[in-house]
Amino acid sequence: MTQRTRQGTVAATLVLLTTAAGCAGQTGPAGTPQHGGTVHPAPSAAGGAGVTRGFTLVASGDVLPHDSAVSRARTDAGGDGYDFRPMLAGVRSVVSRADLAICHYATATSLPQLAKALGSTGYDSCSTTSNRSLDALDTAGLRHAGSARTAAEARRPAWLRAGGAKVAQLAYSSGTNGSTVADERSWTVSRIDEKKIVADARAARRAGADVVVVSLDWGHQWRTEPDDRQLSLGRRLTASTTAGRPDIDLVLGTHARVPQPYEKVNGTWIVYGMGGNQGSMARFTFVPPAGPGRRWVVKKAEFVPTWTDTDAGRVINLPEALHGGADRDELREAQQAILEAVLSRGAAGDGLTMG
């Protein structure tokens, strides 16, 4: 990961773009650069042998720039182009302090200024559902997974470095928002398929991944509770193992537009949905395995409630704002609603805390 100064605490949902860095380019399994990326050597052995440093991973929900957000970005740029950075200023400290920060780039619109703002905020990688945005993400130095411009690109995860670990991010979507994809180009968007997800996770592990993160665009919009498919697929994915080691180390969900629960299933954390104008930022602290062939362990699991002030066009870190004296009923009510949703499946009993 590109060296940079970290200045804050926990990562953010770009909720203000009505929901919810900088490693350059993708790398192949052995560290071969793609799209001009930096070469990162493979770890000494899959499973973290010889690795001593842990890392923090922060994740946030959908980046979805509706007209009002685009208009605000134009205003923030003084009418000359678009500047999305002020929208994210309230969460920059959170994102930039993490060793690895992931967002979900949910738009098919190619906005280079938006991708640049995400990189400036401190994001490293985004899950994607359209290949129209990939050039902009590449230019901004953001890695990506979930959609592709070629069949070869579709077979590669987003390879990332965090602490002493090599991380593989895989991403899949339940649909294409009504768009038709020809059979011969089915690789354009990675669709949710349990067998493929497990096979891809195992392939990433064989290629040297210490930690495998799976991003899923799934569930029903505007529904706080995860649906039956989310629950059953989450159980099966977290139950998948090879030689006694889980194939997947973390599941990150998006798409619902409202906050959904966190849950530890089969020893692996699932975030069913990180939400929208009301949402949560997820932060997980990983520590190295106890020995060769063992998994990296989540030592600390946290969430940070966020809310979008749509009038001002700003994302607000709710605990930070309330602690700082912004004692507004709407902020307290939003935080309480998010708290209830996130903890509704008993995550507090497994150690999840509000950051």
Range of the domain at 48: 15-354
In a domain, 311, yes or no: yes
How many separate domains does the chain show?
1
In a domain, 10, yes or no: no
In a domain, 251, yes or no: yes
pLDDT digits (tens, 9 = 90+) for 116-131: 999 999 999 999 999 9
pLDDT at 107: 81
pLDDT tier at 230 (50, 70, 90 boundaries)?
very high
Residue type, 205: R
In a domain, 204, yes or no: yes
* H or E, element range at 151: helix 151-154
pLDDT at 180: 57
In a domain, 348, yes or no: yes
- Helical residues (DSSP H) of 40-150, grouped into ranges: 67-76, 85-97, 112-121, 134-139
CB contact at 8 A, 159 and 143:
yes
pLDDT tier at 14 (50, 70, 90 boundaries)?
very low
Q: Is the pLDDT of residue 7 over 70?
A: no
Name 329's Cβ contacts closer than 8 Å, sequence gap at least 6.
none
CB contact at 8 A, 264 and 284:
no
**At 245, which CATH number?**
3.60.21
Gap between the Cα atoms of 245 and 318, Å rounded: 37
Q: Is the pLDDT of residue 38 over 60?
A: no
| Of the candidates 100, 115, 82, the residue with the CA atom closest to the CA atom of residue 10 | 100
Q: Is residue 175 classed as helix, strand or coil in its secondary structure?
A: coil
pLDDT tier at 186 (50, 70, 90 boundaries)?
confident
Percent of the chain whose predicted confidence (pLDDT) is above 90: 73
Phi and psi torsions of 151, nearest 5°: -65, -35
Q: Is the pLDDT of residue 40 over 50?
A: no
Percent of the chain whose predicted confidence (pLDDT) is above 70: 83
Q: Which residues pair with 283 in a beta bridge?
A: 58, 302
In a domain, 102, yes or no: yes
In a domain, 3, yes or no: no
In a domain, 259, yes or no: yes
Tokens of 181: 């994809």
pLDDT at 15: 42
